[in-house]
Amino acid sequence: MIKEFKLPDIGEGLHEAEVVTWFVKKGDPVKEDENIAEVQTDKAVVEITTPYSGVVHERGGEEGESIKVGETLISIETESEGMNEVESETEQPNVEEGKEASNTPPRRVKAAPTVRKLARQLGVTISEVTPTGRGGKIIADDVRFHAEDLTDKSNEASVPSTSTYSEPIKGVRKKIFENMTHSMNEIPQCTGMDEVDVSRLSEFRGLLKNEMQNGTLTYLSFIVKAVAFALRENPRFNGRVDKENMLFHYQADIHIGIATATEDGLVVPVLKSADRLSVEEIASSIEDLSTRARSKKLRSDELSGSTFTISNTGRNGGFFATPIINPPEVAILGVHSIKRKPVVKDENIQIGDVMGMSITFDHRVIDGEHSAKFMSALEAYLEKPELFIFKGK
C-alpha cells in the first residue's frame, strides 16, 4: 500500500516550504521517525521525519523546488507485496545502450544518527558508503574515508580555478535574496552614522566580567540593553507599518533580533522582551541563540516576532555600514568595530575606545529628527554605563 505524507504546517502559518536537502531517494528503505528531508521555511531550515516505515515510492519535489502545505512531500510503500510491485516496475529502467539494469534490491543502511549527520555535512550519500563496522554498520571513519575518496576524484576531474561556474540560489540564501529585494524595493531607507566613545563601557565591562558566574560578557550584551532603553524612550523605532490600512502600530513589547552569520547565510534569532532582561541574562541568551543558530537547532518561534534588529559587524573590522531594514520592522542598528582613536574630554585630547554606529530607518514614518533623538539616547547609555544600574532591568 502506498501512503502519502503531506507537508504539514510546521508553524507560523506556513504556506509553502522549499526542499533544501533530500536524505532519501526513490527505492530507499526508511523507518518511522527517520529524517527524510530538510525544508526551508520563511524563518528556518527544519528537518522533516517520516511517519511511516517502508520504501520510498516517490518524492514530491526536487531540491530547490517549493511544496505547498497539504501537498504530497513523499509517498512510502508500506506493504511487502506492494514493495515487490514497485521493484518489478523499476527492474527495467531506461539505461544507456550496452548497460544492464540492476535487479539488486536497495540495501538497508545501518548507521547511527550522528554518523548520518556527518554524512550530510560532508555531502556524502550514506547508502554509497562501504561499511566496516560490526554487523555491516557504517561508522564515522567510513564516511570520512568515502568523503576523502570523492574529494580526490573530484580534484582529478576538476576544471581550472579560473573557470566560471554557477551555483543555485536556494535555502536560506534564497530567503535572504527575496527579503532583501522586497525591503529595498518597498521601503525608502535612510542611514545615519555616528561615533560613540565607549571607553567607560570598556572599563565597566571589565569589572562585571569578573563578577559573572558563567558565559561571556560581550559588548553586544550592553548594546542590546542600551537599545532596549532607547526604544522605550523612542517607541516609534519599535513600530510597524500597516500599508493596507495606512496605520502605524506602536509595539508594546520589545523583541530584539540579532543578525547572526551561519554557513548557510544570515539568520535573525530573537531576544524576546529584551527590556526585561539583565545584561547577564542577555549575554547568556545571545550565546545560546547564536550557538544553536549555527547548528540549525533553533525553533521557528525563536526566529520570528522581532520588533527591532541589531547587525553586529564589529568582528569584521568595518567602522560604518548601511544595514538593510528587516521587514516589517521600521529600523535596524548597525554596530561596528571599536578602534583606539583621539577623543576630546574636558577640552583635552585623549586616546579612547571609539565605536562606529549606523541607524537605517524607514523614511516614510521616521524623520531625521527622530533618528537624531534615538541615537542621542543610545549614545548616552553607552557613554555612561552607570545609567544601567540606575535604570535596573
Instruction: Please say whether the dihedral angle defined by the alpha carbons of residues 153, 159, 160 and 162, taken in this order, is positive or negative.
Output: negative
Q: What's the one-letter identity of residue 306? A: S
Q: What is the CATH number of the domain that holds 387?
A: 3.30.559.10
Output the pLDDT for position 138: 84
Same domain, 74 and 114: no
Residue 196 lies in a domain: yes
Residue 236 lies in a domain: yes
| Ramachandran region, residue 305 (left: φ > 0; alpha: ψ -120 to 50; beta: rest) | left
Domain assignment present for 182: no
Q: Are residues 140 and 216 in the same domain?
A: no
Q: Please indicate, yes or no, whether residues 226 and 334 belong to a single structural domain of this protein.
A: yes
Integer angstrom CA distances of residue 104 from 91, 101, 131: 9, 9, 18
Choosing from 95, 117, 146, the residue where a domain stops is: 95
- Is residue 177, in this structure, part of any structural domain at all? no
In this structure, the answer to whether residues 247 and 363 fall within a common structural domain is yes
Q: Are residues 122 and 90 in the same domain?
A: no
Question: Is there a single domain that holds both residue 318 and residue 345?
Answer: yes
Is residue 336 in some structural domain?
A: yes
Whether 229 and 378 share a structural domain: yes
- Total domains, the chain: 3
Domain with 115 in it: what CATH number? 4.10.320.10
Q: For residue 132, what is its C-alpha cell?
A: 566496516
Cell (9 digits) for 360: 537605517
Do 327 and 386 reside in the same domain of the chain? yes
- What residues act catalytically? 363
Domain match, 118 and 77 both: no
> Along the 393 residues of the chain, how does pLDDT read in single tens digits?
888 999 887 665 668 888 888 999 998 999 888 889 888 876 677 788 888 899 999 999 888 888 888 899 999 998 654 444 433 333 333 333 333 434 444 445 677 766 777 787 788 887 788 888 777 778 888 888 888 777 766 665 555 556 788 888 887 888 889 899 999 999 999 999 999 999 999 988 888 877 766 657 889 999 999 999 999 999 999 999 998 999 999 999 999 999 998 888 889 999 999 999 998 899 999 999 999 998 888 888 899 999 999 999 876 667 888 999 999 999 999 999 999 899 888 888 999 999 999 999 999 999 999 999 999 999 999 999 888 766 655
Last residue of a domain, one of 49, 68, 95: 95
Tell me, letter by letter, the H, E, C secondary structure of 237-292. HHEEEECCCCEEEECCCCCEEEEEEECCEEECCEECCHHHCCHHHHHHHHHHHHHH
The amino acid sitting at 41 is: T
Q: If 0-12 CB within 10 Å is exposed, 13-18 middle and 19+ buried, where does residue 366 land?
A: buried
The answer to whether residues 316 and 213 belong to one domain is yes
Same domain, 383 and 260: yes
pTM over 0.75: no
Domain containing 382 equals 189-391
User: Which of 70, 95, 120 is the endpoint of a domain?
Assistant: 95
Domain match, 252 and 201 both:
yes
74 touches 60 (CB < 8 A): yes
Residue 181, domain member (yes or no): no
